[in-house]
Amino acid sequence: MHPFSYTRVSDTREALNAGRHGGRYIAGGTTLVDLMRETIERPEALVDISGLPLDEVSVTECGGLRIGALVTTAEAAAHPKVRTLYPVISQALELSASAQLRNMATIGGNIMQRTRCTYFRDVTADCNKREPGSGCAAREGFNRTHAILGTSEHCVSTHPSDVAVAFAALEATVHLLGPDGRRQIPFADFLLRPGSTPQREHALERGELITAVEIPAHPRPLRSG
Amino acid sequence: MTRGGRNGRHGRRDAGRIISPKLAESQAIGGIVGGIGTALLEHTVTDHRDGRIVNANLADYLVPVNADVPDVRAVYLDGEDREADPLGVKGLGEVVHVGVAPAIANAVFNATGRRVRELPIMAEALL
């Protein structure tokens, strides 16, 4: 692991300030710490946002649901409103990881996970996502669980989140807070297709913070079958 | 050996005289769980270009967890085997693992008509 500094922030202003100077946000740490141990992620500064007040699930004026970025995946899955209004979210979350991880991992962190492509996680392999221009070892290598749709010649990896699929299907919106204020983007535009820049995975600008994921009201029935 | 039925899955073994039922039970059930892994999950994948193992971690190398394992019971054939050993005992080591994958492969054959001869049995073998 490479050396890094660690700061715990207590309000969003402080967080954004640290983020603007290149700090990487960390909450549950279940994905970032793994990647740091493998030296795939090498942040100079970690900004612990787990104390920020972004941990509530609330019903919106339009009858949708707003899940704070720091709600743990266990809490989100078990929340009565999530269970009754959007069972697909509960089901997707409960298929993910293990109970211990779900108790730590947050909704914001879940959608910021990086691919499980074995070559991305092997620092000796060629990977355009980890090291742009080095090539893609997966295209001719082991790619049984890789993407079929939305790929490019530079990258065939998939996003590892189960609940991301549910968010996309439910036409969720990601709420962001940055140095220039708040903005919202459709979930489908939040995660980027690899194209010729597979190292760019999401639409976050430097220092921007995910504050919540909002799911619009959906008419019942909720099952496709 | 192993079979599924209305009363759950039985691992049936001829282990001679059982000296420590608790130890035998945990060994036998552990063997069934391990066998489920062999049959359906565990696979060391090598990159055909350089022979490197591409799933050399416990996130990608899958073993059965509680959610993968149905109710299982271990049962033993009666009897002591004085031919094998004066105490009437037989080994109950890795042997508990061995019959499980063939039993599952037989179940797959029974359900689909397809004889799968490579482990683990993956969905694409049935396409």
Q: Does A91 touch chain B (CB under 8 A)?
A: no
CATH number at residue A171: 3.30.465.10
> Is the CB of residue B55 less than 8 Å away from at least one CB of chain A?
yes
> For residue A110, what is the enclosing H or E element?
helix A107-111
CA distance A126 to A119: 7
Question: What residues make up the domain containing A74?
Answer: 52-113+159-215
- The structural domains of chain B, ordered by start, are 2-126 (3.30.365.10)
Predicted confidence band of residue A223 (pLDDT cuts 50, 70, 90): low
Is the pLDDT assigned to residue B95 strictly greater than 90? no
Q: Which residues contact B51 (CB under 8 A, 6 or more apart)?
A: none
- Model pLDDT for residues B13-31, shown as the tens digit of each residue: 788 888 899 999 999 999 9
| A140 vs B45, B49, B52: nearest CB | B49
- Domain presence at residue A223: no
Range A199-212 average pLDDT: 96
> Which band of pLDDT confidence, cut at 50, 70 and 90, is reported for residue B85?
confident
Answer whether A142 sits within 8 Å of B45, measured CB to CB: yes
Tens-digit pLDDT profile for residues B41-57: 999 999 999 999 999 88
| DSSP 8-state class, residue A80 | H
| Residue A126 contacts B where some CB pair is shorter than 8 Å | no
Would A148 be classed as within a structural domain? no
Peptide bond preceding B64 in cis form (omega within 30 of 0): no
Give how many domains chain A has, as a whole number. Answer: 1
Sheet with A181-186, side-by-side order of all strands? A57-59, A65-68, A209-215, A173-178, A181-186
ipTM entry: 0.73
Predicted pLDDT of residue B8: 53
A107 within some domain: yes
Record: contact A141-B59, CB cut-off 8 A: no
**What pLDDT does B5 receive?**
43
**Closest C-alpha among A73, A105, A77 to residue A89:** A77
A189 is a domain residue:
yes
Band of pLDDT at residue A221, cut at 50, 70 and 90: low
- Per-residue pLDDT, averaged over A29-54, amounts to 96
Residues in chain B with CB shorter than 8 Å from the CB of A115 are none
Q: Please list the active-site residues of B.
A: 94
Stretch 94-113 of chain A: residues touching chain B, C-beta under 8 Å: 98
Q: Judge whether A47 lies within some domain.
A: no
Report the run of H or E that residue A176 belongs to, with start and end: strand A173-178
Find the CB nearest B54 among A98, A118, A140: A118
Could you read off the pLDDT of A138-186 as tens digits, one per residue?
Answer: 999 999 989 999 999 999 999 999 999 999 999 999 999 999 999 999 9
CA dihedral over B124, B125, B126, B127, signed as positive or negative: positive
Residues of A in contact with B49 (CB under 8 A): 140-141
Mean pLDDT across A119-142: 96
Residues of A in contact with B47 (CB under 8 A): 137, 141-142
Please determine, for residue A16, whether its predicted confidence score (pLDDT) is greater than 70.
Answer: yes
pTM: 0.85
Residue A88 belongs to some domain of the structure:
yes
Residue B49 contacts A where some CB pair is shorter than 8 Å: yes
What is the per-residue pLDDT across A56-105, written as a single tens digit (0 to 9) for each?
999 999 999 999 999 999 999 999 999 999 999 999 999 888 899 999 99
Residue A224 lies in a domain: no
